[in-house]
Amino acid sequence: MARIGLTLGPCLFNWSAERLLAFYRGIAENSVYDRVHVGEVVCGKRMPFSDPVWPEVIETLQSAGKEVVISTLAMPSTVRERKALAELVSGDVMAEINDITALASLEGRPFTVGPLINVYNEASAAFFAGRGAKSICLPVELPLSSVAVIAKACEGLEAEVFAFGRLPLALSSRCYHARLHGLHKDSCQFICDRDPDGLAVDTVDGQKFLAINGIQTLSDGVQLFLPTAGEASAHGIKRLRISPHTLDMVTVGATYRRLLDGEMSPTEAKESLLALGLPGAPVNGYLSGGVGASQLELA
């Protein structure tokens, strides 16, 4: 049985340049992730602040033996953003596309596909594989039964599943954070940086509901998919994706690595992760084809 890979996905939140540099230095020096994604996915307005950081971050990670992937913007809406996307995917570092328009700029280069692209069946996965995709992180709403079908139909394509973090659900042309603070999107003052793990949103009845991150909607709960290596392989899963939060991501990665290497049980792994202080309750319902906000024992 092949070893299950461990991916650190892109940071979805508005972290300062200083915080990003310190975070990735720690990941390079101490973590077990074999693949690390960098780059801005959510809001193009953040790019002028984070883009200068990435060359140093990439060099640091590569020097530590990490495979680096640049994740691209999921909803490019201006000429500047579309130009930046084209430049990113044409560089020397493999890119993850999060918007299908990026395909036009790849020119035969290998790439990965992010979970914000709608790949819900084997035909869609085969479309990307035929154009050079090496890996695909499947949409978070897909149950494991569908993951297995897609993985079996596209055996040359690494099937990756979102295993940890608030689930990325949707993007909007409007900025929820700006509206909340009485600001316009064009003059948002980058107010989303006040909530480095996203801002929880309750219903009018006070029930936990979702989380917002600028223009992005996330789950309130935190995905905890804790398969053994055998269970992951049985569904054709080659990689697990861990999404960055402000808690100890080195320990999160080490916990998943020990779980996949058979050194820790799923129950022990769950206890270890809960002890870190998650920003929301654990969830995994989508993986069984149920309600995403539920926490179930997966067969």
Consult the annotation and say whether 188 binds a ligand. yes
Helix residue spans in the chain (DSSP H): 17-30, 47-50, 54-63, 79-89, 103-106, 122-129, 144-153, 176-180, 229-234, 249-260, 266-274
Secondary structure of residue 135 in the 3-state scheme: strand
Residue 154 is assigned to a ligand binding site: no
Q: Would you state the structure tokens that stand for residue 232, as one six-digit string?
A: 């992951």
CA torsion through residues 82, 87, 93, 94, sign? positive
Report the 10 Å Cβ neighbour count for 90.
12
Determine the Cα–Cα distance for residues 233 and 290; give it in Å rounded to an integer.
22
Cβ-based neighbour number of residue 1 at 10 Å: 8
Q: Which residues are annotated as a binding site?
A: 43, 175, 188, 192
Q: Which residues are annotated as a binding site for [4Fe-4S] cluster?
A: 43, 175, 188, 192
